[in-house]
Amino acid sequence: MTDLLHFIVTSIVTNKEDVAIREEETETSIILHLTVNAEDMGQVIGKQGRVVNAIREIIKTAARGGEKRYFVEVDDEK
């Protein structure tokens, strides 16, 4: 799922080298923490969160049938 998320996000951002994904695993789920350049944050979130919600749906659908649920969180750049 990390590769899929990386592919989707790098397709829509300008600063592709600043895309970073960190996995956090719990007993029942895996949270993918996405960090992008501050300039690209608007492109990833989209108007009223439409783009990030679409990305979340793609990841959830691709992971369907697996043992764990996947979630995508967008973190501020550090």
User: What CATH number is associated with residue 24?
Assistant: 3.30.300.20
Q: How far apart are CA 72 and CA 9, in angstroms?
A: 12
Specify the pLDDT at position 76. Answer: 79
Condensed to tens digits (0 to 9), the pLDDT of residues 28-75 reads: 999 999 999 999 999 999 999 999 999 999 999 999 988 899 999 999
What element of type H or E holds 30?
A: strand 29-35
Q: How far apart are CA 52 and CA 50, in angstroms?
A: 6
Contact of 9 with 36, CB cutoff 8 Å: yes
Domain count, the chain: 1
Q: Is the pTM of this model over 0.85?
A: yes
Q: What domain range includes position 54?
A: 2-75
